[in-house]
Every structure is written in C-alpha cells, then in structure tokens.
Amino acid sequence: MAQAEHVSGIRLGRILGIPIYLHTSWFLIFLLITLSLRTQFTAQHPGWTATQHWVLGIITSLLFFASVVFHEMSHSIVAMRYHINVQSITLFVFGGLARIEHDAPNAKQEFTIAIAGPLSSLFLAACFWSVWRFVHGSEMVTAAAKWLALTNLVLAIFNLVPGFPLDGGRVLRGIAWGITGNFMRATQIAASAGRFFAYFLIAIGVWQALNGNWVGGLWMAFIGWFLLEAARESFAQVAIRDTLADVRAEDIMVRDIPTVTRDISIDEYVHEVLRTGRRCHIVTGAGLPVGLVTLQSAKSVPREQWSNTSVQAVMVPMAKVQRAAPGDLALSILERMQSEDINQMPIVSGEHIVGMIGRDAILRVLQTRLQAGHLAKPS
C-alpha cells in the first residue's frame, strides 16, 4: 500500500536509500502469525519436533514480512523512476506503508506506481509456488513455500480490490483520472469504492460473528473499519491539498508584526498577550529581531518567577526559528507546523520579517474554501 502519511517506528536500516521502520503494532501481528503457523505446522506435520514447528513458524513469518517489504519497494522503485521521493517504508499491523512525498502528477504514473505492488506479490507467489512444486528433499522448505505462495497470492488479490486507499483503489483512481481528466473526481470515485468495500467487510464480519465465528468475524470487521477510516482520511488529505493548492503565505499572512523588547518580564509579556490577544511575538534588541516568544514558552516558567524573568530567557533565538518565504505554499507551511509542533511562523523576505502566519489562519482559509465548495477543479 503506497501512502503519504507518516507512521513512526523503530528504524531497521535502509534499502536503496529508503529508511525501513517497524511500527510497534508489527510485533503483535508477528507474534500472532508465528503462533498460527506453529499451530498449523503442528497439525499438518505431527512427526516434527516442537523446535522445528517454532523455528519454521518464525522463519516463515520473517519471510512473509520480507515479502511485504518487497511489495512496498516495488511501489517505491517505480515512484523513484518518476523522480518522486520515497521518504520511508514502515511495517505495521496490516502490512506495509510506503511514505511517498507527493501524489503522482498524472494518471499514467499513478496507475503504474499503484499496480507495481500487486504485481510484485503475484511474482513472489509464483516463485514460492515453484519452490513448493519443484523443489524436493525438505518438507520444511516446501511447507513454508506453500504457505508463502498462498499468502502472497491473497495479498495481491486483496490489494487489487478497487477501494481507496488500497493499491486497487489507486489503480482505479489512475483509470478514472485518465478518463475524466479530473484528479479530485477520480479520488472521489476511488474513495467511494473504498467505503463500499469497507462496509462490505464489516457486514461480513458481523454476519460471521453472529453465526459463531467470533474471532474471524471481529477481525474481518476490524479490517473493514480500518479501511473505512483510511478511505475517509485519505480523501480528506487530498481535499485539503487540492483546496490549498494555490494559497501562498503572502496571501494570508498578517503584515502587522507584533513585537516586544527582550528586556521585558514574562509577567509584562503575558499582560501584553491578554491585552492584544496575540499569542506570538518577535523579540527585538537594539531595534533588530533577535528571537521569537510565544505564550506557550512563557508558561514554561513557574508563575512566581514571571516578574523577575525576561522574555529573552524563554525566546527561541532567530537562528533557530522556523521561517517561510512569502511565496511558500500554505500547505507546505501547515505540514511543517504539524511536523515541528508549532503554531506560528515568521515570513521572511531577504533579511526582513514581512509578516506572520499562524496555523489557525491557514485552517480558517481551508474551512472557508471547503464551505464555499471550491474543491474540484481540473488537474
């Protein structure tokens, strides 16, 4: 599954320059798959020792997740061929996520990047099937190969389901994009298909649970719920990007730059915030900007110390202040704010601060445009 969302985790290393991470949820699914395989191998091969059952279960689980990495690498290699940066690959409870910097610029590239994953899983299924059918002499090898062949086949088929954000949904979006010429319309079609498939899985899961298969039914419903949320979130992110595509910092920045001198106390600063309602100020010294102070940073000092502590003690020096240029896209600024967990950013042109932009201002523009219905436009 190729995604743009970030999923943090434990870093394993790099493949072709792409960082590989393990999300903490991976350990749960690895344990469950290993236990399931151990039970399956015990039932199918009672003559093996307990050690053989456990060792083959662990090795087969690791090969399965190696198959998932191969699937995600296939997406990533094609994306890199189109000069789209791949920031990371993360293994988690439902498989893998390739964090791609941005969506493909056209329908053909969208289709090609999306189809690469399922095709790679079909290729692995064929390889493991060949080992199972034609390599003889070791029951352990053929048992693992048979399970991996079937599992990769299921992985390919599942990902080909035409529901966003599964690979099949992105394939559908590529096809719809090519036909309609409208990226947002294509995304709406793929997201609708994704929601339909998610509700279908939830219904099947509920039906199975009501008929006695509680474990399988609840698991199926949980997968459906996950895909439903993923479809909604993925469409919302696309809508946000589309809505803010042409908005730049200079369009919405505040040109009246609030300042305070570095020698005032935190107590005086808080009173200034209460008076004006401005929660972020440029700190000046000798008439020049030397830092940035916010109400949040001021509150990091105990209340009883406010009167004898200057704002200089809690400000962020200008050298470390995150900044943007007037021509920077509001969307990229919002993403930086979310990544750095900050709410305001000075807008700098040359050596001069020409404005301030806040996360709330960007979100107001987004809300206004969404309410006005300016979502779809030709791509």
The predicted pLDDT at position 266 comes to 93
* 135 burial level (CB within 10 Å; 0-12, 13-18, 19+): exposed
The predicted pLDDT at position 95 comes to 66
Looking at the structure, tell me whether residues 226 and 258 fall in a common domain. Answer: no
Looking at the structure, tell me whether residues 136 and 63 fall in a common domain. Answer: yes
- Based on the structure, what is the number of domains in the chain? 2
The predicted pLDDT at position 372 comes to 74
Q: Are 65 and 30 in contact (CB under 8 A)?
A: yes
- In the structure encoding, which two tokens stand for residue 297, read together? 């940073």
- pLDDT lower than 50: segments of the chain: 3-7, 374-379
Last residue of one domain, picked from the residues 243, 276, 291 = 243
Looking at the structure, tell me whether residues 229 and 259 fall in a common domain. Answer: no
Q: Are 140 and 52 in contact (CB under 8 A)?
A: yes
Q: Is residue 379 part of a domain?
A: no
The predicted pLDDT at position 245 comes to 80
* 214 burial level (CB within 10 Å; 0-12, 13-18, 19+): exposed
Looking at the structure, tell me whether residues 301 and 216 fall in a common domain. Answer: no
The predicted pLDDT at position 6 comes to 46
Looking at the structure, tell me whether residues 188 and 258 fall in a common domain. Answer: no
The predicted pLDDT at position 93 comes to 63
Last residue of one domain, picked from the residues 208, 243, 278 = 243
The predicted pLDDT at position 207 comes to 93
d(CA 361, CA 138): 65
For tokens 């039906």, name the residue. Answer: 207
Looking at the structure, tell me whether residues 233 and 300 fall in a common domain. Answer: no
- Quote the distance between the C-alpha of residue 148 and its chain's center: 27
The predicted pLDDT at position 23 comes to 81
**Residue 324 three-state SS:** strand
Q: Is residue 95 part of a domain?
A: yes
* pLDDT tens, position by position, 240-250: 877 888 899 99
Looking at the structure, tell me whether residues 6 and 119 fall in a common domain. Answer: yes
Domain that includes residue 132, residue range: 2-243
The predicted pLDDT at position 306 comes to 92
The predicted pLDDT at position 94 comes to 59
CATH number of the domain within which 277 lies: 3.10.580.10
CA-based nearest residue to 323, from 269, 368, 276, 257:
257
Query: What residues are labeled active site?
Result: 72
Looking at the structure, tell me whether residues 178 and 231 fall in a common domain. Answer: yes
The predicted pLDDT at position 5 comes to 45
Last residue of one domain, picked from the residues 243, 268, 292 = 243
CB atoms within 10 A of CB 276: 10
